Amino acid sequence: MDLLRVFGEVQPLLTKGLWITVEVTVLSLMLALVIGLISCFLALSKRAPLRWISKVYVGLVRGTPLLVQVFYIYFAIPQLLQLMGFDLRFTPFIAGLITLTLNAGAYLSEIFRGAINAVNPGQMEAARSLGLSHAQAMKKVVLPQAFRICLPSLVNQFIITLKDSSLISVIGLADIMYQAKIYVGRSMEAFATYTWVAIYYFVIISILTQVAKYVERKVSS
Amino acid sequence: MMNPQIKIEDLHKCFGELKVLKGINLEIEKGQVVCVIGPSGSGKSTLLRCINRLEEPTNGKIIVDDIEITDPKNDLNKTRRHIGMVFQQFNLFPHLTAKQNIMMAPLELRLKNKADASRKAEELLERVGLREKADAMPRQLSGGEQQRVAIARALAMEPDIMLFDEPTSALDPEMVGEVLAVMKELASMGMTMVVVTHEMGFAKDVADRVLFMDEGIIMEEAAPAEMFSNPRNPRTAEFLKKVLNP
């Protein structure tokens, strides 16, 4: 029950786990931004089959729990590949990265789509009336405004993904949560350990929130 | 004889089942100012928006400067450079300053280098009386100022036709005059203008021709003096009575 004593023992483990958490979160968010943008443009396409690709992708991700998605990528897909004659296994890190990327990508796709739709259609018309192509009008007029609109939701998704990454510990990714479980299993210090885990997450997210507030002020002024 | 600058033949536009334009025929000569009046829902704005194809005509032909813009092979982006448009809601780009709003299209389309675009923007701001507002963001400007910047933005493309879609309808009454003054000056310099408006005074003073539209067709067309003093069509007479003596 001694918080400070436990901290001395658990701190190196949690810090080691923290780097894994940050690494998997940052990498997956960077990839998710790309996937989210692509899916968003598919969703806004004039061609119905392209819109369907995005719809099915977003629907599957939204319609299933993240935990099921992790198990699916880590256990189910490799077995399927094995039956098809490929011997491919993911490390927990790669499986976690894929899961978080696909998961965040779907939500970001919806966030981007909502933001682009929220830009007044008169903006696109004004740009087109000056002779800009659709792509030029998107680039110079619609997307800069959509970016400002989606910034708060974007930050929110970053925070959600950071927290969701703790679920990846169930397949053995050695993140903060995993390290904590190992330590508790050994020492039985559940209260102190998980208190420190909560504080770790809370501090990172608070820092992230402050940075986001600063960026938001910067772009809206 | 020179061809008319804008020629519209049997223009139809439907939104689903709703027929908004039911066969418009219209010729506008270079330098003419044509005001389009009529009750709301009569298709005035739709007609205007068909001229630069912000609306896709369902049927019919539109020829601007001898180019058939309803031809699918026509490069619409090029055509639109010559046709300026001013919107009821101004539609300034809120993330850009007044001057950047004016410079954006000429720069993005590589028609001018930065120095020339900047010089031109300052000249246009001067012309609409907003030289000191060059660095203001749109939200810091009054409605009338925003609309004058919007006119300057359209002029930056050096168009030979200007379309105005109810340019003063969203303005507070005390700001209507400053926008109309800019439009008057433009007309006096020989710009071809098509103006959808509820400003009967402007139509009387500035227009060469007035069109009265109702139910998707041009019901009557005349010189302003004649239209306002002696409307032939009973629908026109009824409409004018309502708007002139409310």
In this predicted structure, what is the pLDDT of residue B3?
A: 83
Nearest to A15 by CA among A211, A147, A174: A174
**Pairs of residues, one from chain A and one from chain B, whose beta carbons lie less than 8 Å apart:** 59
Edge to edge, the sheet with strand B209-214 lists B83-86, B161-165, B192-196, B33-37, B209-214, B217-222
Residue B93 distance to chain A (closest CA, Å): 7
CA atoms within 13 A on the CB side of B190: 2
For residue A141, list chain B residues with Cβ-Cβ distance below 8 A.
Answer: 93, 104
- Complex ipTM, two decimals? 0.93
Of B85, B89, B104, the CB nearest to A129: B85
Cross-strand pairs, B194: B34, B163
For residue B108, list chain A residues with Cβ-Cβ distance below 8 A.
Answer: 132, 136, 140
* CA B136 to chain CA centroid, nearest Å: 25
pLDDT tier at A221 (50, 70, 90 boundaries)? low
Structural domains in chain A plus CATH codes: 19-173 (1.10.3720.10)
In this predicted structure, what is the pLDDT of residue B243?
A: 87
Nearest to B138 by CA among B209, B187, B90, B87: B90
CA atoms within 13 A on the CB side of A87: 0
Is residue A1 over pLDDT 70? no
Residues 6+ apart with CB under 8 A from B126: none
Contact check, Cβ <8 Å, B91/A125: yes
Helices (H), B71-217: 76-81, 98-108, 114-127, 143-155, 173-188, 200-206
For residue B109, list chain A residues with Cβ-Cβ distance below 8 A.
Answer: 131-132, 136
Between positions 135 and 174 of A, the ones with CB within 8 A of B are 136, 140-141, 144-145, 148
With b for 16 or more beta-carbon neighbours within 10 A and e for fewer, the A75-106 pattern comes to eebbeeeeeeeeeeebebbebbbbbbbbbbbb
Of A122, A140, A141, the CB nearest to B87: A122
Contact check, Cβ <8 Å, A126/B54: no
Segment A131-144, tens digit of pLDDT: 999 999 999 999 99
In this predicted structure, what is the pLDDT of residue B89?
A: 96
Is A88's Cβ below 8 Å from some Cβ in B? Answer: no
φ, ψ (nearest 5 deg) of residue B10: 45, 50
Nearest to A78 by CA among A60, A59, A98: A98
pTM for this model (two decimals)? 0.86
Site of tokens 């400070």: A4
Segment B15-61, tens digit of pLDDT: 999 999 999 999 999 999 999 999 988 999 999 999 999 999 999 99
In this predicted structure, what is the pLDDT of residue B45?
A: 95
Contact check, Cβ <8 Å, A129/B109: no
Segment A146-169, tens digit of pLDDT: 999 999 999 999 999 999 999 999
For the record, the structure tokens of A186 come out as 């050994």
Segment B187-226, tens digit of pLDDT: 999 999 999 999 999 999 999 999 999 999 999 999 999 9
Segment A62-98, tens digit of pLDDT: 999 999 999 999 999 999 999 999 988 899 999 999 9
Segment A10-25, tens digit of pLDDT: 999 999 999 999 999 9
Nearest to A95 by CA among A119, A109, A74: A74
Of A129, A133, A141, the CB nearest to B52: A129
* CA A161 to chain CA centroid, nearest Å: 4
